[in-house]
Amino acid sequence: MPAKAKNPHVPFGDQQTAPWYGKDILTVKQFSRNDLEYVFAVAHEMRIMVERIGTFDLLKGKILANLFYEPSTRTSSSFMAAMQRLGGAVIPISEVKYSSVAKGESLPDTVRTLGCYADVIVIRHPEVGSAALAAKHARKPVINAGDGVGEHPTQALLDTFTIREELGRLDDLTVTMLGDLKYGRTVHSLARLLTQFNNIKLNYVSPDLLRMPPDVKEEVADKGIPQAETSVLKSVLAKTDVLYVTRVQRERFEDPDEYEKVKNAYVVSPAIMKSAKKRMIVMHPLPRVTEISMDFDEDPRAAYFRQMEYGMYVRMALLAIVLGKA
Ligand code: NCD
């Protein structure tokens, strides 16, 4: 369950008894299977509402501060779109160089400030633990939109929502994670989150340099989930239900020569995908560089563009849930 609620002054009309009201979202470890079912049900409703009427006033009068210290296209714009589709407003701070951060302001002071003006704060930052630090100092709920190589919980929620919408289930799945499993925070969160479901098998396919970190593997093993590690995609592809491809995270390498060695380690192509099941999906958090060839995009199994759309519905659900309006 989430930690202590914030929002000392409860605005009129907020459902403060709702379990996630005023809570931070920092890690996928906060979510039980019941919580997940709830988020997915709300996200599904959001999808239907957007398809029917586009924008509606569930969060009218609420303000989101969108604080990005690292580049982002999808996460940042889908949070903004989510808030605006729910009738709320956004303070976008994606160029921290134009904010007081450039004058040397600390993260705690920046989030203290935003907590005075906004009802919820979304933060992306290059350091592991930054979202937790922000949450400690903010009066309002903080949502982690990526803390360095740590976690990206809202991405894992949208990834699992995607699997559910696309394959109709979250149990009985073989999920193969491919690429940069060392620095890719999305796979750290997704592997942890998948432990909530039944009969999951995880395959980790990466160059030796980019293996899944031992702490994540230990947590997954503690939940009794079988994990297999290899460098060869072919050996596991035929049994895969979800192929989750990641970009080699160039910005996280200390040694540029190491990046050069592994940057083109895998390219998913129509030829390779011939040996995969007919009913399976290929996902990617995006941005893609070269790891999925563009001529695979028209294949019905290519779910990555649909996945980014599901992201907005999940973020609408999360905003509504922490603001007590779901
Ligand atoms: C990911 C991230 O920022 O971790 N992008 C995203 O949020 N969709 C993946 C990446 O940058 O490769």
Residue for token pair 């395959």: 203
pLDDT of residue 7: 62
Question: pLDDT for 271-294, tens place per residue?
Answer: 999 999 999 999 999 999 999 999
Q: What is the mean pLDDT of the chain?
A: 95
Q: Peptide bond before 287: cis, by omega within 30 degrees of 0?
A: yes
Q: Of the candidates 325, 312, 283, 321, which has an alpha carbon nearest to the alpha carbon of residue 85?
A: 312
Choose which residue among 75, 123, 181, 246 to substitute to test ligand 1 binding: the one with the highest number of ligand atoms within 8 A of its C-beta: 75
Residue 286 CA to ligand 1 centre (angstroms): 6
Give the DSSP letter string of 65-88: EEEESS--SHHHHHHHHHHHHTT-
Nearest to 206 by CA among 291, 308, 316: 291
Report how far residue 316's alpha carbon sits from residue 131's, in angstroms, rounded to the nearest whole number: 20
pLDDT of residue 25: 98
Where does the chain have alpha helices with state H?
A: 33-53, 74-85, 107-117, 130-137, 153-167, 185-194, 214-222, 234-237, 256-262, 270-273, 304-322
The per-residue pLDDT for 8 is 58
Structure confidence at residue 102 (pLDDT): 77
The response to whether residue 315 sits with its C-beta less than 6 Å from ligand 1 reads: no
- The percent of the chain in helix, strand and coil, each rounded to the nearest 5, is 45, 15, 40
Q: Is the CB of 155 under 6 A from ligand 1?
A: yes
Residue 5, pLDDT score: 65
Mutation probe of ligand 1 site: the residue of 70, 127, 144, 152 with most atoms within 8 A of C-beta? 152
**Which atom of ligand 1 is found nearest the CA of 185?**
4
pLDDT tens figures, 122-166: 999 999 999 999 999 999 999 999 999 999 999 999 999 999 999
Give me the residues of the chain with pLDDT under 70, please: 1-5, 7-9
- What residues are paired with 230 via a beta bridge? 205
Q: Is the CB of 124 under 6 A from ligand 1?
A: no
pLDDT tens digit sequence for 182-204: 999 999 999 999 999 999 999 99
* DSSP β-bridge partners for residue 34: none
Q: What is the predicted pLDDT for the residue at 4?
A: 57
Distance CA 200, CA 223 (A): 11
Q: Using the atom order of ligand 1, give the atom closest to the CA of residue 246.
A: 12
